[in-house]
Amino acid sequence: MKYSISTARWRQQTMILESSTKGLFLVAVAGLFNGSFGGPAKRITAWKWEHIWLIYSFCAMALLPVGLALNLSHGVILNLLASEPGLSLKVAGFGVLWGFGSLLFGVSLARLGMTITNAMVNGIVVFLGSLGPVLIGAVRVSPRQLMWLVGGEGLLAVSLLLCAIASINRDRAKGISSSRSFSRAQSIVAVLITVAAGVLSSMLNIGFVFGASLADKAKTSGCPTFVATVAIWMPALLGGLISNMGYPAYLISRNKSWSSLSVDRGNIGSWLRALSMGVLWFGAILLYGIGASSLGSAGAVYGYALVITVSILTSNAWGALTGEWKNSGARPKALMWLSTALLIGALVILAGQRVSS
């Protein structure tokens, strides 16, 4: 009897470990996709930002989630969302907030520049996105888990600060001015906009936590496991589509440049690259949802911090490979290496605690 009990317990622990390992792997791949999705845009020269963002948003937030729901869920997801209008609208509401966060992120880039905006927004997003579900009581973690989570995110925040400092020093070494000539009042407004961008951008993960029962019901209704989280992403992303397509469409209409989107030989490459951005980004969201679900009740807490960490590591790696740090001087490179080391340390802490918990 003792042997059978211990054997059953061992099997249970083995299954939990295997599920955690699978979840961590999927979250890591999601981070790779998320850190790479902006890459194709660098080679689009025929379009402006608004054209790229319009096509990318349509692909990532409408075409792919709705297409998967229609073709692979056998009508389960559409029927489920129709039967749960209150919860579906709440999840869509979080998506709307996240969409406006994305829009404010673009405004912040123009006001404060890439380095400061990325550091501030990512720092706020990872803290609120992962700790938000805990703070509102949607997810429970032990005091020990919370301590390690805050420690890992603290390392991540410091690494982002060092990354911003390194990037500013790099731009100065290359003769690129990263400063903006603002009055004190304008600077305060710019910072407030950036903070708002970070707060609102974290709403996507909180919406994912709120809508977890939709994915569970989709599974029990016969929906394939890898498509079940689309029951959450579909209303959330359609909510975010309002601003992510609305603002670029406004800019295109104002500039009367709809003709730039014509599908001809000269634009095929631009279309394919913009669509590939959508595939990478939605692929990241889909894999994150599956991986976070595999990590257990606190998956959306640890998983979100992990996916952001891997995403930043990936984008930094792409920056190094594409020569962004060439001729930048010794000090910026040293700061960047230190930032990367802290990122890896945060990744080890967060992943290790998820496996051991």
Give 203-242 pLDDT, tens digit per residue. Answer: 999 999 889 899 999 999 988 888 999 999 999 999 999 9
CB-based contacts of 312, cutoff 8 Å, min separation 6: 35, 122, 156, 159, 160, 163, 343
Q: How many other C-beta atoms can be found within 10 angstroms of the C-beta atom of residue 257?
A: 14
CB-based contacts of 210, cutoff 8 Å, min separation 6: 87, 90, 91, 94, 138
Q: Give residue 205's region: left, alpha or beta (phi > 0; psi -120 to 50).
A: alpha
Whether this prediction's pTM lies above 0.85 is answered by: no
What pLDDT, in 10s, does the model give residues 179-213? 455 566 666 777 788 889 889 988 999 999 889 89
Six-digit token string for 142:
């032990």
- pLDDT, average across residues 65-71: 93
pLDDT at 7: 57
Greater confidence (258 vs 349) lies with: 258
pLDDT band at 3 (very low <50, low <70, confident <90, very high): very low
What pLDDT, in 10s, does the model give residues 244-270? 999 999 999 999 999 999 877 678 999
CB-based contacts of 220, cutoff 8 Å, min separation 6: none
Greater confidence (273 vs 327) lies with: 273
pLDDT at 240: 95
Looking at every residue in the chain, the average pLDDT score rounds to: 81
Six-digit token string for 61:
């937030």
- pLDDT, average across residues 40-55: 88
Determine the Cα–Cα distance for residues 45 and 175; give it in Å rounded to an integer.
24
Q: Which residue matches tokens 């890591």?
A: 28
In a domain, 3, yes or no: no
Separation of first and last alpha carbons in the chain: 27
pLDDT at 246: 93
Determine the Cα–Cα distance for residues 316 and 336; give it in Å rounded to an integer.
9
- pLDDT, average across residues 97-110: 82
For residue 143, pLDDT beyond 60: yes
In a domain, 12, yes or no: no
pLDDT at 247: 92
* Main-chain phi, psi angles of 77, to 5 degrees: -65, -45
Q: Side chain identity at 81, as an amino acid letter?
A: L
* Enclosing domain of residue 229: 26-356
What pLDDT, in 10s, does the model give residues 296-311? 767 777 788 888 888 8
What pLDDT, in 10s, does the model give residues 313-325? 787 777 777 776 6
In a domain, 9, yes or no: no
- pLDDT, average across residues 268-279: 93
Six-digit token string for 289:
């949802």
* Number of domains observed in the structure of the chain: 1
